[in-house]
Amino acid sequence: MGLKLRRAWSGTAAVVTLIVAATALYSDKGGGKPDRDRIPAATRKEIQSVELEIDHIEAESLNRARQTTLDRFQQITLLGKIIFYDQQLSVNRNESCSFCHMPETGFSGPVSAFNQTTVAYPGSVRTRFSARKPQSHTYSAFAPVLHYNPEQGDFVGGQFWDMRATGLRLESPLAEQAQGPPLDPVEMGLIDPGCMVYRMSQRPYRAMAEKVWGAQAFAVQWPENAREVCDRPGPAPGGNPLPLHLGAVDRGIAQTTFDQIAEAIAAFEESPEVTPFSAKYDSVTAGKAEFTPEEKAGYELFRSKATHCNECHRDGGPGEEPLFTDFTASNLGLPRNPGLPFYEESVPDKLGYTANANGLKYLDPGVGGFLAGPQNPNHEWAAMARSYLGKYKTPTLRNVDQRPRADFVKAYMHNGYLKSLKEVVHFYNTRDVLPACRAGDRGEKVTCWPAPENPDTMNRKQLGNLKLSDKQEDLLVAFLRTLTDGYPLPPK
């Protein structure tokens, strides 16, 4: 344990140093330097690499769109893919949906240095960060429209960590999720949904979109100041949700096209390119491969009453596909992550926007915040808000270890506090056994855990004291790695 502890502290110290550098360089409190000059060198290099890959994928997709033999399925999914990779659809034309969701990481955060430090990714306005880590998009298409199941006594479905993309309006949580980041001030930052339609009307794939949706898709009389309005980052002054002045009919056309944009993105995310069921686990269940002894033992642990893992991360059953989630929400008792720059966004930035007026006092309310807020579409649900404070949607475990290289750091849980599958399993195993960490404790994540952020609604039944040995923790990790897509089958 002594050697493990020294290694853990050495890594932790490095992370803390990077966090301090990242948050200081991203702070908007002084210096007046361009945003790019505030990005740590290692992070900037990774960002450039990711952006080059995004441009390459977009160019390749646009070239494919010129083919005349695409069937209806190919047209819609390819259109969704092009939109997904188009950086021009953000306020500063520098951020696509894919910036936080790339294939080499299971369509989650693709910048190792961010995952290791800030966890949250900068928005199109590069000094703004959200309060949570990017979720994986793989297999998200299977989430049902959010509903309350009285027999389970639980909410099921929706998208985002807090389930706020209910799917109620478009009958697709995934499509409604796609409408969130373009209008979020800390993400793509557009000031009005019409601005995404306006920007797209000027893109080289407009004709393809009109072929799929009809000639009316962009038949909008844009105001003379449309470019000026759409180049201004949100939110709009005075809280106006629709600062782009459109007539009623033009607004209706723009909203319909905005919905179709979201549905096209969802179609891409539903496609086998994003959701392929090609992990080693799938090959084993199909009888085309075998687990190693360690993987097999880990799977048996995963399914055992000792761990309860598959109670929330369901591995299939009668009529079920093995999605490794039950689409409910839970509070695991995680500590807050002080490395999130969101805690520092407590004063107006240069554009007058304050992301987090509570500063260091901010507590992430999770699903409870959505249920208590204006986005809740069902007033009957509001009465349950308190019991869902600090709860977050259970993610799929598929592609939980997908990474482009062995030394690539992934962040885990809604706030990215945990940085490896070993840390995740160790937390589940020892949360209630190890003592509380003191400030600066070198044993953090190894021999102690900080206090939970939201203790009142914490899950106290299925985790915290699993009584697993160090070896058994490793066996669970070995199994989880079999859920990575792209497993190569041996030649026949």
Q: For 222-233, how does the pLDDT look when each residue is reduced to its tens digit (9 = 90+)?
A: 999 999 999 999
Sequence-ordered strand ranges (E) for 121-272: 147-149, 154-156
User: Are 125 and 187 a contacting pair, CB within 8 Å?
Assistant: no
Q: How far is 476 from 340, CA to CA, in rounded Å?
A: 28
pLDDT digits (tens, 9 = 90+) for 161-220: 999 999 999 999 999 999 999 999 999 999 999 999 999 999 999 999 999 999 999 999
d(CA 244, CA 225): 8
Scanning the structure block, which residue is given the tokens 């944009």? 261
Strand partners, 159: 165
Phi, then psi, of 129 in degrees rounded to 5: -125, 150
Q: Are 433 and 464 spatial neighbours (Cβ–Cβ below 8 Å)?
A: yes
Lowest mean pLDDT among 26-30, 117-121, 144-148, 478-482: 26-30
Per-residue DSSP letter, 422: H
Query: What band does 10 get if pLDDT is binned at 50, 70 and 90?
Result: very low
pLDDT > 90? residue 101: yes
Q: Which of 388, 147, 172 shows the shortest CA–CA distance to 269? A: 172
**Does the pLDDT of residue 381 top 80, yes or no?**
yes
Of all residues in the chain, what percent are helix, strand and coil, respectively (each to 5)? 45, 5, 50
The helix (H) or strand (E) run that includes residue 392 is: strand 392-393
- Neighbouring CB atoms inside 10 A of 236's CB total 16
Kindly state the tokens that stand for 298.
């880990």
- 247-272 pLDDT, tens digit per residue, is 999 999 999 999 999 999 999 999 99
Give me the pLDDT at residue 37, please: 45
Q: With 80 as the cut, is the pLDDT of residue 311 above it?
A: yes
What is the reported pLDDT for 40?
67
Cα dist from 274 to 136, 313, 315, 480, whole Å: 10, 20, 19, 19
pTM summary value: 0.92
Task: Please give the structure tokens belonging to residue 110.
Answer: 């693709």
Predicted confidence at residue 12, as pLDDT, reads 42
The radius of gyration computed from the CA coordinates of the chain, to the nearest angstrom, equals: 23
Joined together, the tokens standing for residue 294 give 């360690």
Q: Which two tokens stand for residue 286?
A: 């199909």
Report whether pLDDT(30) > 70.
no
Termini Cα distance of the chain:
45
- Check pLDDT > 80 for residue 16: no
Say which CATH class 2-483 falls into. mainly alpha
Locate all alpha helices (DSSP H) within 364-435, ordered by sequence.
367-372, 421-430
**In the chain, what are the domain boundaries?**
2-483
